[in-house]
Structure 1
Amino acid sequence: MSGLFNEEPTVVMRRSNFKAEQNEVAHESIKIDLTGAEHLIESLAIYGSPLLNAATELLGILVTISRQGSPLDIDRFRQSLIKAISAFRQKGVHLDYHPSIIEKSCFVICAAFDEAILYTSWGEKARWENHSLLSKTFSERNGGEVFFQLLDKASEQPAKLVDFIELQYVLLMLGFKGRYRHKEQTNLHEIKSDVYEILRHYRPESVLPTPKTPILPIEKEPWRMWSMRKLAALAGLLIVSGYVFSEYWYYNRSQTIIAQSQVIDKTSVSINDYTLEQQIEAENDNAGNALKESMMHNQMNAVNWEILLAVFSTSADANQLASVLNKSGYNTVLKQNEHGIELVIKASNDLSSIRKLNSELNVKFGLNATIRKAQK
């Protein structure tokens, strides 16, 4: 980080035109065990400051705010940021910092997120200032003012708070302006310069590594492209071969299909003759069945039928049911025999009418009436 403002001459680097030495070392496939690789980010140390290392995930999200579109669910996005800040606070508990430094770090990070989101089109449309991270986490709304107040106080004792100052410097370099957003930028540039001078005193200069030209592996030369004449000749040969093959295949298939169709025609003629005979026999059978049904129907209509409603042991019960049925419009008759007193409906030779009447009585009066031939 300290190398951002170095006044060093620009070094022009060009790739020299030389042929890399041939390397005939065989490349062996190496299998790497990636079990638990998802947890490596937790112990990844990018910066010299443990505070910045703990805030790496939040800084990565902050950088993408200005480039990403509107979240599908603003409330869910806000909760995810609050959860990430809580995770940063939990990491800070295990670091060698005073709890107030961790709280102030969470505060300045929330202020940076609120400002970055508020000045996006979707943040302004969603009215982010009404539900900002500072208001949710610290019940504060003047993060742009408090940020620089904390920076001034930390600059008074840089030896103890250099990591916190460095975190604020990174946030400033990522675009945080706070109370200077709508003011002259000269003061903000001076603050950045002063903070950089403080950090330069406590952070050693880092020398950038010199790039080395890698040894390129030997690759086979690509095939030379064919001329248009060769390609046209090859295409014509493929077309002619395909046409000849398709004609040969169609000829063999057609001969088989023609032979099968001839067999089918002969079979269909035999089937048609057999079907015609079956139809004639079926018509004769249907005519005989219709005649039989007509004769049976006439015989059934020649018989008188009656409906047996119930059998009673006492005349009082029989007369009571007969009275109910007679009032409903049914003509009933009481018959005395050795089984008891029978209550019946008068006889009729129309069997279909008798059946309808029987069903009607059973449904209407809950009887178990039956049809029988009329008793003399």
Structure 2
Amino acid sequence: MADSKDPTEFKDPDRTLMRPNPGGRLVVASPRLLDPLKGLGPYRPLRPQILFKTNPLASGAMDLIQLASRLGREVADPGSPKLLEHCLLGLADYVTGLKTAAVDVKTQSKASYCLAAFIDEFVLETPWGAHGPWAKKSLLETLHQDSWGGERVFVWIDAWLEQPSLHRYQLEYILLLLRLGFRGKYGVIHNGKASLDHLKGRIEYALGLPPVDRHQCLSTEPIEPIIRPHKARLTPFWVLLSWTGLALCLVMILLMTRLENRSETLTAMVLSKNPGPPASSQ
């Protein structure tokens, strides 16, 4: 594989992680391992947003995105070692799906990185995640040897925004994660929320999308494609008011002209029926 000078690129994005089984003994999984989501609380499923259904990066990640949103609401540890294993297997399946969809290797790695960072952030913000096995060995550290908490994501966003037409799938995908609550470095820096909102606005503008309500970070409502308003809708109010006043003035002038014409006609009729006194003879 050719070397890359880009420090944000992975050295071997197509590698396979093998987990050893000492002694080759068969491990019988407990019911909890067979169904690691069994003990999680109830949830309302997140519907994939209409705009992103044809995007393989986004549509293939919805199961793990759903899981991350559930884990972020868990107060007690639901069994983090088993859930970590479940997420690792899920991310491997995600990459396999991207390969099947003919997504290039670099994009596969970056998409996996973004999704791992998204899940890690939700988990590590819980008490059990911040002080448990997940904090010692997160998804990013396990899969991508990265302990920076998703810093590379924002380097890639800046690069994608330089050529949005060539990176539409990547921008749609990361915008979905940002809208669903991913903050990365903006979660810890001063005035991070405003800066993150500005970044979302840049991505939405590059994609030609309408902005959304920033208070609904976990909104499940479908997002419709942007509809450009007609020029008439962009006309300032004072211009409309001026045109209305001008129209009223023209109507008044027309009415006054017609009234004057009718007054002259009536005056002529009255004078024709009542002639003046005859002139006196000298």
- TM-score (structure 2 length as normaliser): 0.54
Q: CA deviation at 1:128?
A: 2.6
User: Kindly tell me: are residues 204 and 160 of structure 1, through their superposed partners in 2, closer, same or farther at Cα, counting changes over 3 Å?
Assistant: farther
Q: CA deviation at 1:201?
A: 6.1
Q: CA deviation at 1:115?
A: 1.1
In the alignment, structure 1 residue 187 sits paired with structure 2 residue 192: no
Aligned with residue 59 of structure 2, among 53, 78, 88:
53
CA contact (8 A) 1:144 1:177 kept: no
**The residue matched to 1:97 in structure 2 has which SS?**
coil
**The residue matched to 1:112 in structure 2 has which SS?**
helix
Alignment of 1:56-71 (within 5 A): 56-71=62-77
Equivalent residue, structure 1, for 2:225:
205
In the alignment, structure 1 residue 79 sits paired with structure 2 residue 85: yes
> Which one-letter code corresponds to 2:152 in the other structure?
V
In 2, the alpha carbon distance for the partners of 1:69 and 1:94 equals 37
> Which one-letter code corresponds to 2:207 in the other structure?
L
CA contact (8 A) 2:183 2:196 kept: yes
In 2, the alpha carbon distance for the partners of 1:166 and 1:49 equals 8
Alignment of 1:148-159 (within 5 A): 148-159=154-165
> Which one-letter code corresponds to 1:189 in the other structure?
D
Alignment of 1:313-332 (within 5 A): none
Give the length in aligned residue pairs: 164
**The residue matched to 2:165 in structure 1 has which SS?**
helix
In 1, the alpha carbon distance for the partners of 2:164 and 2:102 equals 16
Deviation string for 1:238-289 (max 9, x for gaps)? xxxxxxxxxxxxxxxxxxxxxxxxxxxxxxxxxxxxxxxxxxxxxxxxxxxx
In 1, the alpha carbon distance for the partners of 2:157 and 2:100 equals 24
CA contact (8 A) 1:108 1:143 kept: no
Percent identity (aligned): 23
Aligned with residue 102 of structure 1, among 101, 108, 119:
108
> Which one-letter code corresponds to 1:194 in the other structure?
R
Q: Structure 2: any 5+ residue segments left out of the alignment?
A: 1-47, 211-222, 228-282
Alignment of 1:340-359 (within 5 A): none
In 2, the alpha carbon distance for the partners of 1:155 and 1:115 equals 24
- TM-score (structure 1 length as normaliser): 0.41
> Which one-letter code corresponds to 2:82 in the other structure?
R
User: Kindly tell me: are residues 158 and 94 of structure 1, through their superposed partners in 2, closer, same or farther at Cα, counting changes over 3 Å?
Assistant: same
Aligned with residue 150 of structure 2, among 144, 147, 152:
144
Q: CA deviation at 1:176?
A: 1.2
Q: CA deviation at 1:136?
A: 0.4
Aligned with residue 167 of structure 1, among 164, 173, 186:
173
In 1, the alpha carbon distance for the partners of 2:127 and 2:49 equals 34
Equivalent residue, structure 2, for 1:176:
182
User: Kindly tell me: are residues 155 and 206 of structure 1, through their superposed partners in 2, closer, same or farther at Cα, counting changes over 3 Å?
Assistant: closer
In 1, the alpha carbon distance for the partners of 2:224 and 2:129 equals 39
Equivalent residue, structure 1, for 2:4:
none
Deviation string for 1:191-249 (max 9, x for gaps)? 01111111226997279xxxxxxxxxxxxxxxxxxxxxxxxxxxxxxxxxxxxxxxxxx
TM-align CA RMSD: 2.4
In 2, the alpha carbon distance for the partners of 1:170 and 1:49 equals 11
In 2, the alpha carbon distance for the partners of 1:84 and 1:206 equals 33
| Structure with larger Rg | 1
In 2, the alpha carbon distance for the partners of 1:196 and 1:146 equals 20
Structure with the largest fraction of strand: 1
Q: Structure 1: any 5+ residue segments left out of the alignment?
A: 1-43, 208-376
**The residue matched to 1:87 in structure 2 has which SS?**
helix
Alignment of 1:1-376 (within 5 A): 47-126=53-132, 128-183=134-189, 184=191, 185-200=193-208, 205=225
Q: CA deviation at 1:145?
A: 1.6
In 2, the alpha carbon distance for the partners of 1:72 and 1:57 equals 18
Larger RCO, structure (CA 8 Å, separation 6 or more): 2
Deviation string for 1:87-130 (max 9, x for gaps)? 00000001132111111000011011111111111111215332
Deviation string for 1:341-361 (max 9, x for gaps)? xxxxxxxxxxxxxxxxxxxxx
Q: CA deviation at 1:175?
A: 1.2
